[in-house]
Amino acid sequence: MSENIVKLDYPYKREEIRALKVGDTVLITGKMFTGRDAVHKYIHDGNPVPVDLNNQIIYHCGPVVVENSDGSYEIKAAGPTTSIREEPYEWEVMRDHGIVGVIGKGGMGAKTLAACQEYGCVYFHAIGGAAQVLAEKIKSVDNVYLKEIVGSPEAIWEMSVVEFPVVVTMDSHGNSLHDEVLKHSQEVFADLIK
Amino acid sequence: MAIKKKKMAKKVVKKKVTKKKVAKKVTKKKVAKKVTKKKVAKKVTKKKVAKKVTKKKVAKKVTKKKVVVKKGQTPAEYDKVLFKTILEVVRKTSTEMPDDVQKVILKALATEAKATTAEYAMDIIAKNIEIARTKSQPICQDTGTLIFNIYHPVGFNQGKFSKIVKKAVVKATEMGYLRQNSVDTLTGENKGMNIGLGHPVMNFHEHNKKGLDVKLILKGGGSENMSIQYSLPNVPLNAGRDLDGVRKVILDGLVKAQGKGCGPGILGICIGSDRGEGYHHAKEQFLRTMDDISPVKELAALEKDIVESANKLGIGPMGFGGKTTLLGCKICVMNRLPASYFVSISYMCWASRRQGAAVKADGSIGKWLY
């Protein structure tokens, strides 16, 4: 963890994204859109995206949402889901829709890392399972898209967050914490089973 | 054609044989049924008579028939109380971390080096557990597969119980204790109720006690995806059919999982059995408390060794790197076929949500089992 906690505020700027490095702890304040398996496949299949994702952040998350009697929504729990499932699609979203960041858990692969470098994007790791800490940072649910088509957990939820805590584990300079940890653990493993 | 005809002929013969067998069985059954019918008939008449006399007597009769129903309570009243009990079991499991798991998590937090991302992750996890409990909201948004283990006396009505469980699961979903998590695999449709083909999972166990125990595990999808099954021998790992080979594949499974299953995790493992039952028994290990040690000496040693070795891998919380990769490891053994030697490894995330209730005779909660 870097000594300083970096604050990233909306509207997100490409140069601020480029300045982020693996290991930075970041507090995000502003907008984010949830999008997970069904949404990524939907975009990949060539369907029209119902929101402008340019300079936005996608959050790999399927929240627990309760619809109030007045039609408003309440997020009950909202931690990250495993990102690697979007590995076949995420680089395309970076290329075609101009997102600046992805939030998820578990990290992503070589295609995404290369796209981060090429298009100026980062992978933010949220704490898996920390659904309550993260839900508390969501100040409002501003809109929902594709809910009727893909169901509530898979829908695109447009949310405003304040100081949403994440760690940069893949930056826009080709560095991945996941690659480093994997390499190290494989070396230890080889020793352990000798 | 000739060959086919022969085959057909054989089949016919076989069928005849089966028919004969069936016929025999049927006769036996018929006799049995007749006897039962007579008994039933007698009972029915008694009941009818009882109903005509007074309501109180009916209640008494029910008590005699089913041990679980309390005196003076109608079956409908019992069902209502049981529904509330199951709903509370679901709520508590989803929102309150069992004390033994929380203790291990806090210990891991204290172990991680200061001002590291590993400590940062463990700190957020510890805070998350507290908020979930205070707000009575899900610890994790992936409220997982609901796996009920029900321990019931002889003569228990499983069908009726299952219906009440399903009703309680629908209600818990409406109340936000569970995410709308059950998807039609072919159409992708999510009816938003958490019930459907195979959901929730209910494993019934008959025991020689009067009471009813209901235990629940919530098994998240992210961790489930990191579960893995090995067939020994495994050539790439040079893992043979012994405990050293078992150790090698377990550690390999952990390296493969890295941070993807929301580590630091807990492993439930079954050595032996077949592929299906192997995973089933592996998951059963999550019913054991964190301080529980296998009664089998060799397995107890392996459980300890796996945790110690795993925590040398440096994968750490969330795969950020760090000291805690594994919180616990529980291993069981089952017989196998000469041809097979499976090691079934079920990965559980840090949010190991498990709870259980001993249900009283009136359907209410007697005590919590964890």
First vs last Cα of chain B: how many Å apart?
66
B137/A77 CB distance under 8 A: yes
Distance, CA of B53 to CA of B367 (rounded, Å)? 38
Is B96:B133 a contact under the CB 8 Å cutoff?
yes
Local confidence band at B82 (pLDDT 50, 70, 90 cut-offs)? very high
Element (DSSP H or E) covering residue B228: strand B228-231
Given a cut of 80, whether residue B286 has pLDDT beyond it is yes
Strands (E) located in B85-221:
145-152, 201-206, 212-219
Please say whether the dihedral angle defined by the alpha carbons of residues A137, B318, B331 and B145, taken in this order, is positive or negative: positive
- Other CB atoms within 10 Å distance of the CB of residue A119: 19
pLDDT tens-digit readout, B181-198: 999 999 989 999 999 999
Query: Which ranges of B259-326 does DSSP label H, i.e. alpha helix?
Result: 275-284, 297-310
Q: What is chain A's pLDDT, residue by residue, as a tens digit (194 residues)?
A: 445 699 999 999 999 999 999 999 999 999 999 999 999 999 999 999 999 999 999 999 999 898 889 989 999 899 999 999 999 999 999 999 999 999 999 999 999 999 999 999 999 999 999 999 999 999 999 999 999 999 899 999 999 999 999 999 999 999 999 999 999 999 999 999 99
* A106 to B142: CB separation less than 8 angstroms, yes or no: no
| pLDDT of the residue at B72 | 86
The more confident residue out of B161 and B189 is: B161
Catalytic residues of A: 40
Enumerate the residues of chain B whose CB falls inside 8 A of the CB of residue A5.
Answer: none
- Give the nearest chain B residue to A135 (CA atoms): B141
CA distance B262 to chain A (A): 5
Please state which of the ranges B56-70, B87-101, B290-304 shows the lowest mean pLDDT. Answer: B56-70
Q: Does B164 score more than 90 pLDDT?
A: yes
Q: Report CB contact under 8 Å: B258, A182.
A: yes
**Rg from Cα positions in chain A:** 17
Contact residues on chain B for A177, CB-CB shorter than 8 A: 319-321
Interface of B with A in 135-174 (CB under 8 A): 135, 137-143
The residues pairing with B150 across neighbouring beta strands, listed in sequence order, are B204, B214
Residue B46 or A189, more confident: A189
Domain-wise residue ranges, chain A = 5-192
Residue tagged 């480029």 (tokens): A18
Contact at CB, A153 and B190, closer than 8 angstroms: yes
Percent of chain B with pLDDT over 70: 81
- The verdict on B348 touching A (C-beta cutoff 8 Å) is no
> 92-131 in B: which are within 8 Å (CB) of A?
115-117, 119-121, 124-125, 127-128, 131
Distance CA B140, CA B171 (A): 18
Residue B45 pLDDT more than 70?
no
Q: For the residues B128-146, what does the mean pLDDT come to?
A: 96
pLDDT in tens, B53-78: 444 444 445 444 455 565 689 999 99
Say which residues have a Cβ less than 8 Å from residue A163's Cβ, sequence separation at least 6. A7, A27, A28, A29, A137
Residue B268 corresponds to which tokens in the numbers above?
């439930």
Averaged confidence pLDDT in chain B: 87
> Cβ atoms within 10 A of the Cβ of B234, count?
17
Q: Looking at the predicted structure, is the pLDDT value of residue B35 above 70?
A: no
Give the per-residue pLDDT at B69.
Answer: 60
DSSP A8-77: EESSP-HHHHHH--TT-EEEEEEEEEE--HHHHHHHHTTPPPSS--TT-EEE----EEEE-TTS-EEEEE
Residues of B in contact with A3 (CB under 8 A): 115
Contacts with B115 from chain A: Cβ below 8 Å: 1, 3
Tell which residue, A3, A2, A9, A54, has the closest CA to residue A164: A9
**What is the least distance, in Å, from the CA of B81 to any CA of chain A?**
25
Cβ B86 vs Cβ B202: under 8 Å: no
Q: How far is CA B299 from CA B247, B304, B329, in A?
A: 11, 9, 10
Q: Which residue of A has its CA nearest to B248?
A: A193
Whole-angstrom Cα distance, residue B288 to residue B277?
18
| pLDDT at residue B287, as a whole number | 98
pLDDT at B188: 87
Rounded to whole angstroms, how far apart are CA atoms B249 and B301? 16
Q: Give the helix/strand (H/E) hosting B265.
A: strand B265-271
What the block records as the tokens of B2 is 């000739």
Averaged pLDDT, B258-284: 97
Q: How many CB atoms lie within 10 A of CB A188?
A: 16
Q: Side chain identity at A86, as an amino acid letter? A: E
3-state secondary structure of B222: helix
Q: Helix or strand or coil: residue A152?
A: coil
Q: Does residue B19 carry a pLDDT above 50?
A: no
Q: Is B16 exposed, middle or buried (0-12, 13-18, 19+ CB in 10 A)?
A: exposed
d(CA B199, CA B190): 12
* Whether residue B25 has pLDDT greater than 60: no
pLDDT at A67: 87
Q: Which residue of A has its CA nearest to B118?
A: A1
Mean pLDDT score, B89-94: 98
Q: Do B190 and A154 touch (CB under 8 A)?
A: yes
DSSP assignment of A82-122: BGGGGHHHHHHHHHHH---EEEEBS---HHHHHHHHHHT-E
pLDDT in tens, B328-338: 999 999 999 99
**DSSP-assigned letter for residue B66:** -
Q: Residue B231 is encoded by which pair of tokens?
A: 């067939």
> Looking at the domain covering A5-192, what would its CATH class be?
alpha beta
The H-or-E segment that residue A166 falls in is strand A156-170
pLDDT number for residue B34: 45
